[in-house]
Amino acid sequence: MIKKTICILAVFGISNIQILFSQDSGCPKLRIGVYLNEIFAADTTAGYLNTTHAKNLTASEWAGEIESYILQTLNSAGYDNLEFFRVTPGSNEDMDMEFRFSLYPWTVDGEERIPAYEVKYVDPVTGWEVKEYRAPVYDPQLAFLMYSSLVVCSPCVPLMTYIISIEKAIETNIYQLIKNLIYHYNSPLDLTIHNWEVKHPAPARNPQMEIRYQKEHLSLLDEDARKMEIYIKVKNCHGKYVYDKFHGQPVYFLKEMERLEYKDDPGNRCQIGFDWGIFSTVFTSEHYGAIGQYKVKKGFEPSFETPRFKTCGIGNNSLIEVEGEIKVLGLELEVDPDRKIINAGEKTTIQIDMHELDPDGTEILSCEGREVDVQVSGIIDGTISHESGKITLDEGGVAFIDYVAGENDKRIRIKASYTPSGYPETLASEATVTVRKEEGDVNGTIMYERQVHWEDEAKSTYSTIYKKVDVVENASINVAAKYLRTITDTQGKSELFEAKPLSGNFSASVTKVTVVTDHHGDWTKTVETWRGDKMMDPESFSNILLTIEPQKKNYILQAEIRFPGIEGKTEVTSSEGARYTLATEPWSVYAGFEYEGQTDDSSVNGHWSEPASGPILVLPSSGFVPGATWNWNLNRIKKK
């Protein structure tokens, strides 16, 4: 009788194999590549296989036979959540795991050559009788040893190609050996994989990234506003966030970008790994996931920056990449004169405007209180409200500078600059205002002022009406009259000059108050106000006509002037609690007059005024009217 030390396993019927772990509905089948990695001493082992199995195959033929039978046995094992297929060692084929097998020649105890027996003798030292048993001696019998190793495939850095299990079996029959190794030592295989996943959540199976941004956008205005943290959590196909206190899931942040500067988790909440090329490796933490920070390092234009994020998992092709989007608000500084070309004596307002700019073009008014450095050059005899130094922006991110051009000014340059705290670049803008001296044959200025102030109260049986009027109008009109023609008649010669269009400034401050109180004491108050300062419109059809009679030393000055309209409003309140505002027509003043005076043939000077007294009707029309004052000073260009 032959006695063997190896235990021969009974072959279980496939129908009796119970799979203990079922496929997660959220996870696809695991793809497992199967191959015979090595036949040790291939030719010798092939000879042994031929001897024991009565075949005549080469080593390579035996390798194909064994691989085919391994794959057949695995596919017959009843796993509905595992997909097995044949691959070659080192293959780049899409697979989640490798199932490697290696075969070695081996021996086991064969037939008994010397049975076990008992030996008795007397110990010469102690004198005691000793009984010893001798083990039987067997002839060696040819057998085979096979190892299996299940290895996780992963492209992760650092390397995460873990060995899940290593098993071995010994048998004299190669086919029974394969069955024993698969049905017994590696069964149930899916449960082995599941238990390993539970203990080793990283790398994730079918990873998905959840990306959260600390802020909606980055702003250039200060140091903190230029920084943003990004939090990335990784889920596996079981719907669980992947984290391991010993080894988290790696997430790779793009660290080299043209406009953004990258920094690993500034709060030291995550473990940091070695860089992977242009990507930085951050491992997920328990509460935050993986954390990276981006900071704007240059530029003022608005943009969408697109950092890339990667993570990896189980499987050769498990590396995934997502393109993120970080909105960077631009910063824009503008120097904008109301008029870029003005005449000497005229006024213009220069607007300094700084605002943030969304990539879609929307202006964001967020620069209140910021200080912009302003430098103005080129002023000779003009006046300006702010010539140099810091100017503070209002709630709209705007500051205003008033400039009145001098006779000798030619061009002024306004430069504005702003450097955000800690930023390496300076935002700058500039503009120019050109002063034009429009000359005619007769040049000069007409000054206008009107002041009317009165209040009055009228009582009747049924009501009391109180009125108050305050009017202040001022204008400076530039005159550059050109020669038209000379008329000769019986009275002598008359030289005609005309100035159009006219330029200059007009300002008005008008208040009209009316309070009506009835005999019950109930009252209604109406307040009409107009306030503003505007440049004259060159298309207003205003003109000055000057006639000089040189023989009589006489001149006639005729004016038709339409000043720009000043916007106003009407506010109504009452004793019963009413309060509302009405639209009001602009205060558009028309002024016309004709004046005759004396001239010395080189200058035309004159003055007219009449004080206002008593409650007079005030309308947006003027000229030689009560409350008005006119002064003009015109000089004739000498002919060369």
Model confidence at 25, pLDDT cuts 50, 70, 90, reads low
Give the integer Cα–Cα distance in Å for 583 and 588: 15
Asked which of 386, 407, 436 is the last residue of a domain, the reply is 436
91-103 burial: b if 16+ Cβ within 10 Å, else e: eeeebbbbbbbeb
Model confidence at 91, pLDDT cuts 50, 70, 90, reads confident
Asked which of 293, 328, 363 is the last residue of a domain, the reply is 328
444 against 351, higher pLDDT? 351
pLDDT of residue 321: 96
| Per-residue tokens: 564 | 């720009």
Tell me 129's DSSP state. Answer: E
Cβ partners under 8 Å of residue 398, min gap 6: 351, 352, 353, 354
Instruction: Look at residue 2 and tell me if it is in a domain.
Output: no
pLDDT of residue 21: 45
pLDDT of residue 8: 34
Instruction: Look at residue 530 and tell me if it is in a domain.
Output: yes
Q: Region 324-353: what's the mean pLDDT?
A: 93
Model confidence at 412, pLDDT cuts 50, 70, 90, reads very high
pLDDT of residue 597: 92
Q: Are residues 334 and 413 in the same domain?
A: yes
Asked which of 311, 328, 345 is the last residue of a domain, the reply is 328
Please state the domain count of the chain.
4
Give the integer Cα–Cα distance in Å for 27 and 30: 8
pLDDT of residue 7: 35
Q: Are residues 447 and 566 in the same domain?
A: yes
Model confidence at 119, pLDDT cuts 50, 70, 90, reads confident
Report phi then psi at 575, rounded to 5. -70, -15
pLDDT of residue 10: 34
71 is in which domain, residue-wise? Answer: 14-199
| Per-residue tokens: 86 | 């044949």
Q: Region 301-311: what's the mean pLDDT?
A: 97
Rounded to the nearest angstrom, the gap between the alpha carbon of residue 617 and the centroid of all alpha carbons in its chain is: 60
Give the integer Cα–Cα distance in Å for 531 and 514: 18
Give the integer Cα–Cα distance in Å for 21 and 194: 8
Give the integer Cα–Cα distance in Å for 364 and 217: 12
Instruction: Look at residue 218 and tell me if it is in a domain.
Output: yes
Q: Contact at 8 Å (CB) between 109 and 138?
A: yes
Q: Are residues 480 and 540 in the same domain?
A: yes
Q: How far is CA 326 from CA 263, 298, 398, 422, in A?
A: 15, 15, 28, 21
Residue 510 has pLDDT above 60, yes or no: yes
Q: Are residues 156 and 243 in the same domain?
A: no
Give the integer Cα–Cα distance in Å for 496 and 481: 9
Residue 4 has pLDDT above 70, yes or no: no
Q: Contact at 8 Å (CB) between 281 and 273?
A: yes
Which CATH number belongs to the domain containing residue 364 in this structure? 2.60.40.10
Q: Are residues 250 and 310 in the same domain?
A: yes
Tens digits of residue pLDDT in 46-56: 999 999 999 99
Instruction: Look at residue 515 and tell me if it is in a domain.
Output: yes
Mean pLDDT of the chain: 90
| Per-residue tokens: 633 | 């000073």
Q: Are residues 42 and 189 in the same domain?
A: yes
Q: Are residues 194 and 264 in the same domain?
A: no
Of 172-176, 410-414, 501-505, minimum mean pLDDT range: 501-505
Identify the bridge partners of residue 303 per DSSP, sorted by sequence position: 328
Q: Are residues 458 and 606 in the same domain?
A: yes
User: Which amino acid is located at 299 in the chain?
Assistant: G
Instruction: Look at residue 426 and tell me if it is in a domain.
Output: yes
How many CA atoms within 13 Å lie on the side-chain side of 466? 9
Q: Region 520-542: what's the mean pLDDT?
A: 90
Instruction: Look at residue 275 and tell me if it is in a domain.
Output: yes
Instruction: Look at residue 607 and tell me if it is in a domain.
Output: yes
pLDDT of residue 344: 83
User: Which amino acid is located at 207 in the chain?
Assistant: P
Cβ partners under 8 Å of residue 117, min gap 6: 133, 134
User: Kind and range of the H or E element at 357?
Assistant: strand 347-357
Give the integer Cα–Cα distance in Å for 581 and 572: 6
Q: Contact at 8 Å (CB) between 197 and 26?
A: no
- In the three-class reduction of DSSP (H, G, I as helix; E, B as strand; rest coil), residue 180 is classed as helix
Q: Region 220-228: what's the mean pLDDT?
A: 95
Q: How far is CA 371 from CA 220, 224, 374, 389, in A?
A: 15, 19, 9, 9
How many CA atoms within 13 Å lie on the side-chain side of 546? 33
pLDDT of residue 640: 46
Strand residue runs (E) in 405-441? 411-418, 427-436
pLDDT of residue 89: 87
Instruction: Look at residue 543 and tell me if it is in a domain.
Output: yes
Model confidence at 503, pLDDT cuts 50, 70, 90, reads confident
pLDDT of residue 3: 35
Q: Region 595-607: what's the mean pLDDT?
A: 91
Model confidence at 24, pLDDT cuts 50, 70, 90, reads low
pLDDT of residue 133: 86
Tens digits of residue pLDDT in 377-410: 999 999 999 999 999 999 999 999 999 998 889 9
Residue 583 has pLDDT above 80, yes or no: yes
Q: Are residues 563 and 525 in the same domain?
A: yes
pLDDT of residue 384: 94
Q: Are residues 156 and 241 in the same domain?
A: no
Rounded percentage of the chain residues whose pLDDT exceeds 70 = 95
Q: Are residues 319 and 336 in the same domain?
A: no
Give the integer Cα–Cα distance in Å for 627 and 618: 10
Q: Contact at 8 Å (CB) between 110 and 140?
A: yes
Q: Are residues 432 and 393 in the same domain?
A: yes
